[in-house]
Amino acid sequence: MDYTTKIANQVFHHLFINAAGVYCQTFEELEQIQNAPCAGAVITKSATAKERSGNSEPRYFENSVEHNTINSMGLPNLGIDYYLNYVLKHSLKLPTLFSIVGLCQKEIIDNLKKLQASDFSGLTELNLSYPNVSGKPQIAYDFAATREILDNVFAFYSKPLGVKLPPYFDIAHFDQIAAILNDYPLAYVNAINSVGNGLVIDPETDTVMIKPKDGFGGLGGKQIKATALANVRALRQRLHPQIKIIATGGVTNGRNVYDHLLCGADLVSVGSQLGIEGPTVFARLEKELEEIFADKGITDLRQVRGKLKLIA
């Protein structure tokens, strides 16, 4: 299958990218994704202006049997300069996306001003859905704040930009966020981030699994697949066609990848299952996807993308 996909000035030859936050904290992790068979792109951990150690541990739990995760990492990262050094200093094998975040609007603007002034020419992903910094609502759940930030960003930022969105659960919210995003020259949206503030209990000890926020954390893996598919589908139906979609959420096998394509995904990102299985996951997913294509006689992605059928 020819997976060639373009987003802004970047050409991808495979569908898969790591989800920001997974396998992308350090040079070593980023290089493992660069060199992973069937990986199409790499994205950095969402970077803040300064290095952060994040929340106290345990802050991440994976149930590898059920393919589910919960996390309240608290934005641990090595700081924007570390990741800028990585993307500028190394001849990178794959298109490498830069994930940016800020604990306040000023930090977001300052981070993007630094990127704008740098020689970085790839895609930037503005994380509007960082769930686990206590006391901070997800920006993308505050529609006025979302519009304000995008106004301020696009007043100066001229490099290709995407936004990472949290899941929405209300049709009116799909309408509202899409109406906002359609007002800006976005290269893409990445939907979805983890499903916010879930709770997982240890049956042995009647105790929460993670320490921060009394056990509340972002959910990932199989348990969020239906929500992820719905968000990809709803956004595809509402956004201008030139705004591409990176689909994230619930991908553990080839059929899930196929379903995200049916809902309109241009690329597919893998988070929880990458964390559980490691970078060989991309080759397994591509192999399973090609088996589905063979069964259905599909030879071109245009036969799948956005082709979800409804009941007449």
Ligand X SMILES: O=C(O)c1[nH]c(=O)[nH]c(=O)c1Cl
Interaction site with ligand X (CB under 6 A): 21, 46, 71-75, 101, 127, 129-132, 193-194, 218
Of 200 and 292, nearer to ligand X (C-beta) is 200
Give helix then strand counts, H and E, for the chain: 9, 16
Quote the least distance from Cβ 224 to ligand X, whole Å. 11
Of 13 and 26, nearer to ligand X (C-beta) is 26
Quote the least distance from Cβ 268 to ligand X, whole Å. 17
* Distances, alpha carbon 152 to alpha carbons 100, 108, 148, 184, in Å: 15, 10, 6, 11
Of 43 and 257, nearer to ligand X (C-beta) is 43
Of 220 and 254, nearer to ligand X (C-beta) is 220
Of 75 and 80, nearer to ligand X (C-beta) is 75
**Rounded to an integer, what distance in angstroms lies between the CA atom of residue 74 and that of residue 134?**
8
**Rounded to an integer, what distance in angstroms lies between the CA atom of residue 10 and that of residue 99?**
16
Quote the least distance from Cβ 1 to ligand X, whole Å. 30
Quote the least distance from Cβ 135 to ligand X, whole Å. 14
Quote the least distance from Cβ 77 to ligand X, whole Å. 8
Quote the least distance from Cβ 132 to ligand X, whole Å. 3
**Rounded to an integer, what distance in angstroms lies between the CA atom of residue 127 and that of residue 156?**
18
Of 226 and 294, nearer to ligand X (C-beta) is 226
Q: Which residue has the tokens 């705004």?
A: 243
Residue 45: closest CA among 56, 36, 33: 33
Q: Which residue type occupies 183?
A: D
The verdict on whether omega for the bond into residue 137 sits within 30 degrees of 0, i.e. cis, is no
Residue 246: closest CA among 4, 7, 2: 7
